[in-house]
A and B are shown apart, each in its own frame.
Chain A
């Protein structure tokens, strides 16, 4: 039974989150002693992967200096990037392996912890079969580690169940782009954004989740371009939107169908491009026939005139870009939502040109690279399909195993948790993933974790999920390991090691190599450093859609990153895909797909009449394992708030700072209200970065998109009421330095 060995309070007392508020040695001491070196690397957080220089002294990261020569962000950083260095030298840092004991966790030697892990994984597989063990990876890992996690699962363990937390992020976009274009990557580099005459941003809180992209949008407007924003909330970039479409949650694809309807009705589509470079247009045209502006307006809540205007602006521009993120992708029709935008771009010929395209905004640090090289349940390295016999032969040769020994596709991340819950999967080895906070319906996730016969975690802080572990292997921070990642724009960049892991913590790659050795697979995991893993990854990717064969650490350094595909060392890389209308399918065409609207998996009714939508705030990152430990970022947004419109607030007698209870078909959450006119009156918003009773994912539901298997985080039916008193979590002691009440201004 993998239940937490101590009460949550006592675990928190020992392992945090505590707040780090100052660099090593404090503010005053640090001022006297300069850094010994500056290391050019990238931020550990989101998919923008901003260039940053880390200040290092005595093998500790003590601060940062902007890296103004790196072309993507030219020195710009968001508050997470500015304060990221405070995760180093942190009091909560795991400094040695931990084994579950009667009174909590006890320190162990690496031999003891690794022997135990390998033995337990083997025992479960011997008793219940190879597929009784599952492996979780994460999209904040370098590509070397992502590759290693996939290979470890399939070769060292021989299980088909390996998936990663990008399942909560990029899979709807990836599925839609693969189906239409034959490849899963944003087709345009970010430098195209200021060249566009119109940019439509759908379901992307750019200012808070991809802050540097704001500058690209503002420069587009400086050059005379127009910004169209599609969102149920007026996020900060709405202040300069030329047109704001306040879409009703869960109706995005209907809106995009309505836009395409107007384009086709008025003959604004690019007939020549469609005839020469696409298939499937007639079916798409027939499907949007019924979505006239009036019907579209009734469902989406966007006025018909605004639909007409947006469609005309987009279609009449020579160069238009559609950008999207989780706002349209976290749906049980997330793939359809993306297809709707893709169809709009293809129908107007906006693809494969400077300043024209359809761009997904990848969320996690290595959200792009982390899904390309084999920790995704249905893919092999190089973004190859695991069911493709030729791909299996190629990868089997690189791995030196018989092709038939490579397992077929396994369950996706949420499906793995469901298989654990029903007892089919008995053991889990997880890295870089905090499912107790990040998966929907957290009570269900907790029940599943409790049922595991063996649960191993690799992490640098004890996450809420790791409370349930039998063994915690103390791994490394991003700045402690060398490797590469691929940013949101498809640029492969170099993460330089700034410091070595402290005390008895170890590099993540070493942990997997040591486990493989103990599972009898030493000769297939002979790596002595990340570079050797990368060289094998390059071979494994050769010839695949995401071809890295021509990319080397040295070339990345010399050329400020390289865009894949890059099939040979004399190839310049590919910043923009689909130039000349050539797509990655065998026939060279884009395969347009019909995108039909359907109801959410958790529909509103009389009892639950409102939409709950979840998302992020600028000072936190994902499940908060890192940012909830960084004092200044916690001070900026200490606790979740329930955002609601004054009209809705008035109906319930709620004022800002009042305690509000949000109820869904799962359970309740009570948090303070933030009454703002910048959200639809039928919608409430709660950010999801917190655990336990503050977790928005207590409220969300497990309906998945049938193709991408992404959960529907962006729409749950709910009701609200004013709470009689503060909830238990607010009354209990909070971490030192955190205030009981969020600042009233936010």
Chain B
């Protein structure tokens, strides 16, 4: 069996918030959920998107951290900010192209999804991907996702001129190798 991967497929999401609730049960940040669940435009559609940390190869959050508090481990997991160093400046919150980090005001610390480090490091699946009833969040051997799904995993993203590659994949239509988004393209839109 191949290595496990984490896959996000918004087209499967039913907006139930099971992931949001389960994340708050995690031993390392009890009572706080690190998952973002967005209703895109509830007036027009039932579409929802779950967002976990993508664990970038060269994390933007770490690049912009003035306190050098955000570290990526050997295993490719980008951790929450180191408590003694974090100054809760929110640079990472503003810079992350996926909108993942959260600054916990009370703790004065940035916290984020660490792919359930406490679980994955002992061979368990992350809590959100285990409970997700639609498997919009899935933690599976990489070859299984290729065989089983209609969509294909994409690890490359382009936000304007910034290219980002990630450990976590977003499922996209077959043939897509990169997901590209330029905020400037959407500036003309009326609210």
Please indicate whether A and B come from the same complex rather than being unrelated chains.
yes
Residues of chain A whose beta carbon lies under 8 Å from any beta carbon of chain B: 22, 27-28, 30-31, 63-64, 66, 68, 75-79, 81-83, 207-208, 211-212, 214-215, 218-219, 221-222, 234-240, 618-619, 632, 636, 646, 656, 674-678, 745-746
Using A82-B18, A240-B12 as known contacts, say yes or no to A676 and B43 having CB atoms under 8 A apart: yes
Question: Which among B12, B22, B48 is the interface contact of A77 at CB below 8 angstroms?
Answer: B22
Q: Chain B: which residue is nearest A75 at the CB level?
A: B130
Question: Which among A68, A81, A240 is the interface contact of B11 at CB below 8 angstroms?
Answer: A240
Query: Which residues of the partner chain B approach A240 to less than 8 Å between Cβ atoms?
Result: 11-12
Question: Which among B42, B44, B125 is the interface contact of A674 at CB below 8 angstroms?
Answer: B42
Q: In chain B between 1 and 48, which residues have their CB closer than 8 angstroms to a CB of chain A? A: 11-12, 14-18, 20-22, 24-25, 27, 30-31, 38-39, 42-48
A37 to chain B, nearest CB (A): 17
Query: Which residues of the partner chain A approach B11 to less than 8 Å between Cβ atoms?
Result: 239-240
Of B20, B25, B131, most buried by chain A (CB within 10 Å of CB) is B131
Query: Which residues of the partner chain B approach A64 to less than 8 Å between Cβ atoms?
Result: 25
Residue B156 interfacial (CB < 8 Å)? no
Question: Which among B21, B45, B46, B150 is the interface contact of A82 at CB below 8 angstroms?
Answer: B21
Question: Which among A212, A238, A618, A678 is the interface contact of B17 at CB below 8 angstroms?
Answer: A618
Query: Secondary structure at chain B's binding surface: helix, strand, loop or mixed?
Result: loop
Sample 7 A-B pairs with CB under 8 A, ordered by A number: A76-B135, A77-B131, A78-B18, A211-B18, A235-B46, A675-B43, A677-B44
B127 to chain A, nearest CB (A): 8
- Could you tell me the distance between the alpha carbons of A211 and B21 in the complex, rounded to whole angstroms? 15
Query: Which residues of the partner chain A approach B25 to less than 8 Å between Cβ atoms?
Result: 63-64, 82
Contact between chains at B46 and A236 (CB < 8 Å): yes
Question: Which among B20, B21, B48, B132 is the interface contact of A76 at CB below 8 angstroms?
Answer: B132
Question: Which among A27, A66, A221 is the interface contact of B131 at CB below 8 angstroms?
Answer: A66
Query: Which residues of the partner chain B approach A674 to less than 8 Å between Cβ atoms?
Result: 42
Using A28-B30, A618-B17 as known contacts, say yes or no to A214 and B134 having CB atoms under 8 A apart: yes
- Could you tell me the distance between the alpha carbons of A222 and B42 in the complex, rounded to whole angstroms? 26
Contact between chains at B45 and A677 (CB < 8 Å): yes
A644 to chain B, nearest CB (A): 11
Residue B84 interfacial (CB < 8 Å)? no
Q: Chain A: which residue is nearest B28 at the CB level?
A: A31
- Could you tell me the distance between the alpha carbons of A79 and B22 in the complex, rounded to whole angstroms? 8
A653 to chain B, nearest CB (A): 16
Contact between chains at A636 and B17 (CB < 8 Å): yes
Residue B97 interfacial (CB < 8 Å)? no
Contact between chains at B130 and A76 (CB < 8 Å): yes
Query: Which residues of the partner chain B approach A208 to less than 8 Å between Cβ atoms?
Result: 14, 16
Q: Chain A: which residue is nearest B39 at the CB level?
A: A745
Chain B interface category by residue count: 35 or more
Contact between chains at A239 and B46 (CB < 8 Å): yes
Contact between chains at B133 and A211 (CB < 8 Å): yes
Residue B161 interfacial (CB < 8 Å)? no
Contact between chains at A632 and B24 (CB < 8 Å): yes
Question: Which among A79, A215, A646, A745 is the interface contact of B134 at CB below 8 angstroms?
Answer: A215
Q: C-beta contact mask, B37-61 vs A, less than 8 Å → 1, else 0? A: 0110011111110000000000000
B131 to chain A, nearest CB (A): 4
Query: Which residues of the partner chain A approach B127 to less than 8 Å between Cβ atoms?
Result: 66
Residues of chain B whose beta carbon lies under 8 Å from any beta carbon of chain A: 11-12, 14-18, 20-22, 24-25, 27, 30-31, 38-39, 42-48, 125, 127, 130-135, 148-150
- Could you tell me the distance between the alpha carbons of A63 and B30 in the complex, rounded to whole angstroms? 11
- Could you tell me the distance between the alpha carbons of A239 and B44 in the complex, rounded to whole angstroms? 12
Contact between chains at A676 and B17 (CB < 8 Å): no
Of B14, B22, B42, most buried by chain A (CB within 10 Å of CB) is B14
Known: A76-B133, A77-B22, A677-B44. 17 other contacts (CB 8 A): A64-B25, A79-B21, A82-B21, A207-B15, A211-B18, A214-B133, A215-B134, A222-B150, A236-B15, A236-B46, A237-B14, A239-B11, A240-B11, A636-B17, A646-B43, A675-B43, A676-B44
Query: Which residues of the partner chain B approach A27 to less than 8 Å between Cβ atoms?
Result: 30-31
Inter-chain contact total with CB atoms closer than 8 Å = 113
Contact between chains at A676 and B42 (CB < 8 Å): yes
Query: Which residues of the partner chain A approach B21 to less than 8 Å between Cβ atoms?
Result: 79, 82-83, 632, 636
Contact between chains at B130 and A211 (CB < 8 Å): no
Contact between chains at B17 and A214 (CB < 8 Å): no
Query: Which residues of the partner chain A approach B47 to less than 8 Å between Cβ atoms?
Result: 239
- Could you tell me the distance between the alpha carbons of A238 and B48 in the complex, rounded to whole angstroms? 12
Contact between chains at A656 and B30 (CB < 8 Å): no
Question: Which among B16, B42, B45, B149 is the interface contact of A78 at CB below 8 angstroms?
Answer: B16
B150 to chain A, nearest CB (A): 6
Query: Which residues of the partner chain B approach A212 to less than 8 Å between Cβ atoms?
Result: 133
Query: Which residues of the partner chain A approach B44 to less than 8 Å between Cβ atoms?
Result: 676-677
Using A215-B134, A218-B135 as known contacts, say yes or no to A619 and B30 having CB atoms under 8 A apart: no
Query: Which residues of the partner chain B approach A745 to less than 8 Å between Cβ atoms?
Result: 38-39, 42
Query: Which residues of the partner chain A approach B46 to less than 8 Å between Cβ atoms?
Result: 234-236, 238-239, 678
A231 to chain B, nearest CB (A): 11
- Could you tell me the distance between the alpha carbons of A219 and B132 in the complex, rounded to whole angstroms? 14
Query: Which residues of the partner chain A approach B18 to less than 8 Å between Cβ atoms?
Result: 76-79, 81-82, 211
- Could you tell me the distance between the alpha carbons of A184 and B25 in the complex, rounded to whole angstroms? 39
- Could you tell me the distance between the alpha carbons of A215 and B138 in the complex, rounded to whole angstroms? 11
- Could you tell me the distance between the alpha carbons of A746 and B21 in the complex, rounded to whole angstroms? 17
Of A22, A240, A676, A745, most buried by chain B (CB within 10 Å of CB) is A745
Using A22-B31, A75-B130 as known contacts, say yes or no to A236 and B43 having CB atoms under 8 A apart: no
B41 to chain A, nearest CB (A): 9
- Could you tell me the distance between the alpha carbons of A20 and B46 in the complex, rounded to whole angstroms? 29
Query: Which residues of the partner chain A approach B17 to less than 8 Å between Cβ atoms?
Result: 79, 618-619, 636
Contact between chains at A77 and B125 (CB < 8 Å): no
Contact between chains at A221 and B150 (CB < 8 Å): yes
Q: Chain A: which residue is nearest B40 at the CB level?
A: A745
Contact between chains at B16 and A618 (CB < 8 Å): yes
Using A79-B17, A222-B148 as known contacts, say yes or no to A68 and B22 having CB atoms under 8 A apart: no
Contact between chains at A207 and B134 (CB < 8 Å): yes
Query: Which residues of the partner chain B approach A68 to less than 8 Å between Cβ atoms?
Result: 125, 130
- Could you tell me the distance between the alpha carbons of A234 and B42 in the complex, rounded to whole angstroms? 12
A327 to chain B, nearest CB (A): 16
Q: Chain A: which residue is nearest B46 at the CB level?
A: A236
Q: Chain B: which residue is nearest A85 at the CB level?
A: B25
Question: Which among B22, B43, B133, B135 is the interface contact of A677 at CB below 8 angstroms?
Answer: B43
B124 to chain A, nearest CB (A): 9
Sort A-B residue pairs by CB-CB distance and give the 4 closest, nearest first: A207-B14, A27-B31, A211-B133, A236-B14
Contact between chains at B133 and A78 (CB < 8 Å): yes
Contact between chains at A218 and B131 (CB < 8 Å): no
Contact between chains at B43 and A79 (CB < 8 Å): no
B33 to chain A, nearest CB (A): 9
Query: Which residues of the partner chain B approach A619 to less than 8 Å between Cβ atoms?
Result: 17
B156 to chain A, nearest CB (A): 23
Using A31-B27, A77-B133 as known contacts, say yes or no to A207 and B16 having CB atoms under 8 A apart: yes
Using A211-B133, A215-B135 as known contacts, say yes or no to A30 and B43 having CB atoms under 8 A apart: no
Query: Which residues of the partner chain B approach A22 to less than 8 Å between Cβ atoms?
Result: 31
B16 to chain A, nearest CB (A): 5
- Could you tell me the distance between the alpha carbons of A746 and B42 in the complex, rounded to whole angstroms? 7
A633 to chain B, nearest CB (A): 8
- Could you tell me the distance between the alpha carbons of A488 and B46 in the complex, rounded to whole angstroms? 26
Query: Which residues of the partner chain B approach A234 to less than 8 Å between Cβ atoms?
Result: 46
- Could you tell me the distance between the alpha carbons of A619 and B17 in the complex, rounded to whole angstroms? 9
Q: Chain A: which residue is nearest B48 at the CB level?
A: A236
